[in-house]
Amino acid sequence: MVVSAERRTAGLLGGFSEEFTRLFDRSFGTDWAENAEILALLRIVTVDGTTTRVIAQDSGLDRRAVTRLIARLRDRGIVTVARTPVDGRTVAVVLTPEGRRLARRLPGEFTELFRNSASHAAEIVNLLHGPEDVTPPPVGEPLELAREIARVGIQLGDHTRAATGGALRPGRQLAALAQIDANPGIRPSRLSAFLGVTRGGAAYVIDQLSAAGLVERLRGTVPDDSRAVVLRPTPAGVRVATQLVDAISANRAALIAVHSAIAAYARTPDPAATATAADQFQSALEPD
C-alpha cells in the first residue's frame, strides 16, 4: 500500500472502532469499553451462568477488573451473582430478565451495525489488497463476529502499545490521533462528531494528545477565519500514527478476514431473519 492508503485504512478502522465500542457503551453503560471488556461482556450475555474464572480466562482481564465490571452490570440490573452448587467458592454470573432482553436484542443491533458498515469494510479489504469477492457469513452469528473483531482489536492494541512504549492507550486517544493524522487540518467540531462526544469531551482528548506532544492546535490557517482552530499531528504524532500503520500491516490477514465478514453483511437478508436467529440463540443459552 502507498502511505495515503495506509492512512485512509487507519482512519476507517478508527471510525469503525468508535461505532463498535459505542454500541457496547450504550447497551452496558461502559465508558469506551476496551476490547478485553467487550470479550467479557460477550461471554456474559451468551453463556448465562458463566463463572468469573471463565470470564477472566476468555477475556484476559484480571479478577479485579472482572469484579468491577460485574459490579457495574449489577448496578444496571443486567446480572446477579450466585455461588455455584458444585463448588461454593465459584461465582456464577446470571442474567436478570433485563439482561436476557439485552441478550436477545444484541444480535439484531450488531447486524444493523455491520450492514451499515459494510461499504467501509469493503474499502478496508480493498486497501489491504484482500480478495475482491467474499462469501457471506451465516446469518445469525453477529456476536461471534463481534468476538473476532475484539480479538483483532487486542492484537492491534498490543502491537501499538509495544511500539510506543505505552505512550498511547488504545481507545479514544488512538482513534482521535488516527483521524487527525488521516485528515490534517481537521476541526475539533468534526473530531467531536466522529468520536461521538461533546465538544468538551473532544477538547479533553485533544488536551491529552497535546500534552503527550502528539497533536497541535493551530490558528490562522483557515482563509477568512483567523480564529478558527485546526488540528495537526506533530512529528511525534506522525511517528505514532506510523506505528499504528505498522500494526495494521502486521495484522493484515486478520483484518481482511473480519472486514470481509462485515462487508458480506451488505448481502444479508431482512433483519426479521436475524430476529428469528436471535430467538434461537437465546434459547440455547445455558450455564457452564
What structural domains does the chain harbor?
3-275 (1.10.10.10)
d(CA 81, CA 66): 12
Residue 166 burial (CB count, 10 A): 9
Residue 171 pLDDT: 67
The lowest-confidence range among 59-73, 91-105, 208-222 is 208-222
Q: Residues 91-146: pLDDT tens digits?
A: 999 999 999 999 999 999 999 999 999 999 999 999 998 665 555 445 448 999 99
Transcribe the chain into DSSP letters. --HHHHHHHHHHHHHHHHHHHHHHHHHH--SS--HHHHHHHHHHHHSTT-BHHHHHHHH---HHHHHHHHHHHHHTTSEEEEE-SS-TTPEEEEE-HHHHHHHHHHHHHHHHHHHHHHHHHHHHHHHTT--S--PPPPTT-HHHHHHHHHHHHHHHHHHHHHHHTT-S-TTHHHHHHHHHHHSTTB-HHHHHHHHTS-HHHHHHHHHHHHHTTSEEEEES-STT-TT-EEEEE-HHHHHHHHHHHHHHHHTHHHHHHHHHHHHHGGG---HHHHHHHHHHHHHT----
Q: What is the dihedral of CA 200, 197, 17, 218, to 10 degrees?
A: -40
Other C-beta atoms closer than 10 Å to the C-beta of 160 total 24
Q: List, for residues 238-286, the tens digit of each pLDDT value.
A: 888 888 888 888 899 999 999 999 998 887 665 555 455 545 555 555 4
Better pLDDT: 51 or 10: 51
The per-residue pLDDT for 38 is 96
Q: Residues 16-50: pLDDT tens digits? A: 888 899 899 999 988 878 999 999 999 999 999 99
Q: What's the whole-model pTM score? A: 0.78
Altogether, the residues listed in the chain come to a count of: 288
